[in-house]
Amino acid sequence: MRYVCAALIAALFGAGEVAWSYEEITVTDGGNLSGTISLEGQVPKPKGYNLTTLPDQFYCGRISDGRGWRILQPFQVGPAGQFRDVVVYLENIDKGKPFVEGSVPQIEAKDCLFVPFTTVVRDDQTVTVVNMDPVMHDIQAYETSHLGPRVLFNVPLAMNPAHPRNLKDRSDAGMYHKHMAGPPSKQLVNLSKGRRVFVMQCGFHAYMESWGLAVTNPYFAKTDEQGRFTMTDVPPGTYQLVIWHPYIRSRIEQTVTIGPKGTVEAHIAVPAPTGRLYANEVLDHAYVRYNVTEEAKRDIDPMIKKQSH
């Protein structure tokens, strides 16, 4: 919990301040902002969770490193440093194009992962969480403040009743590939004043983690596989372009000026964080610590995907 709270504080620091209000208008002379985000330096180590200490090791262990570890890499980086799935947004826009209506963010529990890892929401907006797996999950979402963490919601995530409920044999669990949506869980994200970040984890499977950022205007984007992003219909003006990732400890921003019907390119290199970012790192001598036998290791060989550190 101490490391998660530290990450939350860092994420909140990087998220900046919340604007009071936003007015939706027709933008007739808006410009376009696009660019790339790259990670500069060594990609941080991933998180690692030993499957022998957590439930549903047969089904969830279909994806692992082959030594009993389930890997969660929060930093998705391409071969040339393309920083993927990073949120970028413009601050201090009090009026502009309307939000896209009818798009309620959905987070799926699939193969014992929450997908996507980062989600952009409006404050006071409902998010939908759906279990696609044949095992039970539990969602625990919370924010933090200077007073400490605050629970947003904590509810079980039911599985689809058509899934088999007796996947106790490893071969049965390993060969079962169906994903069917369970009953959707619709939860309201209502953050405390001045807070913009929440994290969601599974109470049963600690490696299931998803982060959300609440925005105050529709000028935001997530970087694609090439680390690129695009925003359209931006009202002319000078703004702060902010880059947000839950495990980047410092605030990363760049001033951009957009003219009427102008086009601006921004290319930002984010320094890779150093040091230990979280408690759950993969250990170099995993089975010395957990005293896992060779027979137990064979029981949790990956059958779907072998992960690398």
- pTM for this predicted structure: 0.85
Average pLDDT across the chain, whole number: 85
Convert 122-144 to b/e letters by CB count within 10 Å (16 or more is b).
bbebebebbbbbbbbbbbebbbb
Q: 24: which residues sit within 8 A by CB, 6+ positions away?
A: 95, 96, 97, 98, 99
Compute the residue count for the chain: 309
Please check the confidence at residue 19 and state whether its pLDDT lies above 60. no
Q: How far is CA 14 from the centre of its chain?
A: 15
Comparing CA positions, the residue from 235, 209, 21 lying closest to residue 123 is: 21
Per-residue pLDDT tens digits for 162-178? 998 877 666 777 778 88
pLDDT, mean of residues 275-292: 68
Dihedral pair phi/psi, residue 289, rounded to 5°:
-70, -45
pLDDT-based confidence at residue 113 (cuts at 50, 70, 90): very high
Comparing CA positions, the residue from 110, 126, 120 lying closest to residue 246 is: 120
For residues 117 and 211, the answer to whether their CB atoms sit within 8 Å is yes
The DSSP call for residue 127 is E
Question: How far apart (Å, rounded) are the C-alpha atoms in residues 129 and 107?
Answer: 5
pLDDT at 285 (0 to 100): 53
Q: 249: which residues sit within 8 A by CB, 6+ positions away?
A: 10, 13, 14, 273
Question: How far apart (Å, rounded) are the C-alpha atoms in residues 305 and 245?
Answer: 26
SS3 category, 8? helix
Please check the confidence at residue 3 and state whether its pLDDT lies above 80. no
For residues 116 and 210, the answer to whether their CB atoms sit within 8 Å is yes
End-to-end alpha carbon distance in the chain:
23
Per-residue pLDDT tens digits for 123-152? 778 899 999 999 999 999 988 666 677 888
Q: Token pair for residue 74? A: 């929060």
Sign of the alpha-carbon torsion through 19, 25, 31, 33: positive
Per-residue pLDDT tens digits for 71-85? 999 999 999 999 999
pLDDT-based confidence at residue 89 (cuts at 50, 70, 90): very high
